Structure 1
Amino acid sequence: MPGSPTNPVPRPSSPRTGKAAALLDTVLPRPRGSRLVRLYVGLYLFGAGGALLIAADLGSSPWDVLHQGLSRHTGLSVGTWSIIVGALLMLLWIPLRQRPGLGTISNVVVVGLSVDATLWWLPDPEAGGLGLRAAYLAAGIVVTAIATGCYIGARLGPGPRDGLMTGLAARGLSIRAARTGIEVSVVVFGFLLGGTVGVGTLAFALAIGPLAQVFIPRMRLREPE
């Protein structure tokens, strides 16, 4: 009899149940508010940190050296190339067996938009001279390291670039060694394409690994919220 204890009325299945739902929840989990805030604040800050380095004009971050070089050859903006490169980098996750998450997909889009938006409103440091440009440079490096810890700490999936770092770290390299090796390789390729390289690029490449190693464990969410 329908509805009896021995023959209960079947409940409508949830749209996110079963094997397909388990896969969907892995890639696009249902995060709570604080995680989303941490994720998107971190992604915006990451783009803002890159914009600070570009505006300082003392040498961009390694990835933005690449994006600038590509931009010079195509006319597309630095932020647009950040989105394109991020999407292409996810193909390199396959041999590292990295799984994308909401943070990964969001990173591909939000960071590029943040770079272009921040460059639009950021005051030109030229009026403040070398001192203000140096301040932009230092702030850009620190903000990028904090942002890395922030969005990785949200545990919603690393960005496409940081997925390479964490994937290599899972195979025996330290975060410092993995990040620094990636940044140095990218800046060489970007320079060959005509990207802007300077003292800021060197400072970023050498400092971001140690700073990321400091901030990532301190900003990681240890308990589900």
Structure 2
Amino acid sequence: MALLGNLRHRPARRLTRLFAGLVLYGVSMAMMIRSGLGLDPWDVFHQGLARQTGLSFGTVTIAVGALVLLLWIPLRQRPGLGTVSNVVVIGLVVDATVALLPAGLPLPVRAGLLLGGIVANGAATGLYLGARLGPGPRDGLMTGYVARRPGRSVRLVRTVIEVTVLALGWLLGGTVGVGTVGYALGIGPLTQFFIPRFAVPPAPVPTDPPRAAPGATAPGAGTPVPAEPTEPAPRVGTPVPAEPTEPAPRVGTPVPTAPTDPPPRVGTPGAEPPHASGAGRPGPVSGATALQGFGGDPR
């Protein structure tokens, strides 16, 4: 079960990218082989070891893969489904593609095969590593070191590994071509370019639900927590009753004045003429009296 990894998160998408990447990886290797312009650095290393030990190329390839897996231990890398599938699928696809591609092609066609093979190999690496189901034995060195040293880029680490392996293979007697150098210098930047574009996002980390208050039930887990009773809000459009007030007098209504004694008739003994004393004319209304009906303060 450990080899399968966590397939519960987008299993179809991850498996599709894994095997599509491995098939494309095998096709890209066959394109480089048919170009005849140089092997990739790891194959140069395998070739040099085979010449020095007398073992077959395939035997050396398997032995180197096993030794590289031992280097995973200090890097804390774990094999996955992609690790096992890398060994099986790529080898079968390389043999089938080499059998389909003709040999002895013109130099421009071979150069196109070499260039296309290098670019396709970078895309294939991004596809199968982006599935997050485990790297191949040799790619695990890169991913493990980058994981342990976050400040290092994939481009730098992959280029250093490829150039180092290429130098060792050349010292052991391996054949180095223009395609070998181009692969060693180009595969690092290509891998860094394609991995983020093909990577499947990791599964979201579950978070703890908020704790409910003592005596209350969490939302969705049972009976909702009852809220405190509140007075119902008035409906929209319902007029709010105002406090009763005294009706204001209408404008134009005469203000009642205090009753006065009727003036004496003219000709009555002891009476003065009405215009002489001013008793026959109504007196002016004071401001204090006018404000009494509107609630004004007379003082």
Q: Compute the TM-score of the two structures, normalised by the length of structure 2.
A: 0.61
> CA contact under 8 A between 1:165 and 1:175: conserved in structure 2?
yes
Match of 1:209, SS state, is helix
Matched, 1:136 2:113: yes
In terms of Rg, which structure is larger? Answer: 2
Higher helix share: 1
Mapped to 2, the partners of 1:81 and 1:112 lie a distance apart of 14
Contact 1:69 1:193 in 2 (8 A): yes
Matched, 1:44 2:23: yes
Who is 1:104 aligned against? 83
For structure 1, which segment, 140-149 or 48-57, has the greater mean C-alpha deviation from structure 2 after superposition? 48-57
**Does the Cα contact within 8 Å between 1:60 and 1:198 map onto a contact in 2?**
yes
Letter in 2 for 1:42: G
- Taking structure 1 as the reference length, the TM-score comes to 0.79
Distance in 1 between the 2:63 and 2:34 partners?
22
Cα deviation for residue 218 of structure 1 reads: 0.4
Q: Which residue of 1 aligns with 2:187?
A: 208
- Partner SS for 1:215: helix
Deviations 1:48-98 (A, max 9, x none): 2122112211111111212333455646355x6444432331111001111
Residues 105, 145 of structure 1: alpha-carbon distance in 2 compared, 3 angstrom cutoff? same
The letter of the residue matching 1:61 is D
CA distance in 2: counterparts of 1:89 and 1:112, whole angstroms:
18
Measured in 1, the distance between the counterparts of 2:34 and 2:167 equals 21
- Structure with greater contact order relative to length (CA < 8 Å, sep ≥ 6): 1
* CA deviation after TM superposition for structure 1 residue 193, in Å: 3.1
For the pair 1:76 / 2:56, whether they are aligned, the reply is yes
Q: Given that residues 82 and 111 in structure 1 are in contact (C-alpha distance below 8 angstroms), is that contact kept between their aligned partners in structure 2? A: no
Q: Helix, strand or coil for the counterpart of 1:27?
A: coil
**Contact persistence 1:183–1:205 (CA under 8 A):** yes
Which of 65, 69, 72 lines up with 1:86 in the alignment?
65
CA drift at 1:195: 2.4
Query: In structure 2, do the counterparts of structure 1 residues 197 and 148 end up closer, same or farther at CA, with 3 Å as the change threshold?
Result: same
Listed as ranges, the matches of 1:171-182 within 5 Å are 171=149, 172-182=151-161
SS in 1 for 2:71: helix
Gaps of 5+ in 2: 204-299
Distance change >3 Å, CA 52–CA 84, structure 1 → 2: farther
Q: CA RMSD in A?
A: 2.1
